[in-house]
Amino acid sequence: MVPPTASDASVPDAPSLPDGMALTHLLGCAAGKSSALHQGSFLDTPDGWLSEPVIPAAIAGYSQGCVAFQETLTGPDEFWGPVALAVAAAAFVGANRRGDSGGDGGVSAASTPKKVWRKAELQQFDGSSGDVILLAADGLVFDVSSARKLYGPGGRYAVLAGRDATRFLGKNSLEEESVELRSQPLNMAEKAFLSAWVMSFKSKYPIVGNLEEEEWDVSPASLLRAAELGDADELRRQLGKGADVALSDADGLQGLHWAARQGQTAALQVLLEAGANAEGRDLKGRSALHWAATFGHLAASEVLLEKIPVEASAADHWLPLHFAAQNGHVEVVQALLKKGADVNRASKAGVTALMGAARGGHRQVVEVLLAAGADQGAAVNGKTAQTWAENQGLNEIAELIASYGADNERRQP
């Protein structure tokens, strides 16, 4: 069986997307486009529904190029907006999916008290010599004994039992990886995939402990992980043993990008001192400053503004200001404007920061942009920032924009 399409998937009260596209269209898009599911084997079930989250399929499908879905968005080819919707819905899907694979959340927890587990200890809990079946995912150990027909010997997901299944889940694969592949970090889509799986597991299976942290080896995965977590000491150790500061993942994100998107200023400083290229770009042309602005990390943005031009442009001509504005990060917007960001600079598609802020419902950002001289008359396909706000039912913001008037009398330099 293949994953359900938009016509047979239903998520009540799904968040609205631009131009009225529902979340179910994202699911349908994923079902048609995701190469990770092209054989329909890993997520197939006897009753025709996915035995684990539908949402990871949506994440994978989008990340691998759902052009039809992307074309409905006015703005950057941004991955995290749809992913945020998908992950938010994962809990609903995990709790309300059909099928007989789930558990009652407490069948055998008493026999496996919470503790710190070593990988070697998990091996005896693969279901082959007892009733308890454990697996680890993203540092957590789950008791999946209630789903024995799936995770027990001969089960569809038996390969995941008694081990750390993190990379299997992130890659949505039951195939063993080579040593070389295991050294590579999960990319953004795979991390989102993993998050959705873990969210689903938390809704169904008891957590019985944490997986013991092992000493990190010197590898691209370890370097990027240390940057993401802000572990400055581990970064120094990795770099001291010869790790390349320019190592990147499959999306082109280097350690500097990961540190920036997580707001890890200490890690940023270590990487910059080690020679990281402050203006290095990922595969979509985004710098570390773009990522810091996207997630609203003021301190990280200020560090990077000393190294990166405020008008640094991504492949789609989106500036850090665009990303900060559309995500409602008023302090970062103010910092970027103070450094000289052009408030009316448009993206390749003609989108301005004011349009992004208005569409997102970020009143404070709209006020700051208008005060800085944002042109409320700029339009894309006939839609101004005011129009976007009206279409989203954000009447207060629409009225605020209209109140500034065409003559700029109320604007401040």
* pTM check: above 0.85: no
Render pLDDT for 236-287 as a digit per residue (tens, 0 to 9): 988 988 889 998 988 899 999 999 999 999 999 999 999 999 999 999 999 9
Render pLDDT for 322-374 as a digit per residue (tens, 0 to 9): 999 999 999 999 999 999 999 999 999 999 999 999 999 999 999 999 999 99
Structure tokens at 74: 């006015």
Question: For a pLDDT cut of 70, what percent of the chain falls above it?
Answer: 68
Q: Give the span between the Cα atoms of 171 and 60, in whole angstroms.
A: 9
**Which residues neighbour 11 within 8 Å (Cβ) at sequence distance 6 or greater?**
23, 24, 27, 89, 92, 93
Alpha helices in 241-340 (DSSP H): 255-261, 265-273, 288-294, 298-305, 320-326, 330-338
Q: Give the span between the Cα atoms of 34 and 89, in whole angstroms.
A: 19
What pLDDT, on the 0 to 100 scale, is given for residue 46? 25
Identify the segments of the chain with pLDDT beneath 50. 1-110, 406-407, 410-413
Which run of H or E residues covers position 143? strand 140-143
Structure tokens at 78: 């941004």
For the CA atoms of the chain, what is the radius of gyration? 23
Sorted by where each starts, the structural domains of the chain and their CATH numbers stand as 18-96 (no CATH), 109-177+204-211 (3.10.120.10), 215-308 (1.25.40.20), 317-413 (1.25.40.20)
What pLDDT, on the 0 to 100 scale, is given for residue 215? 60
User: Would you tell me how many other CB atoms lie within 10 Å of the CB of residue 374?
Assistant: 27
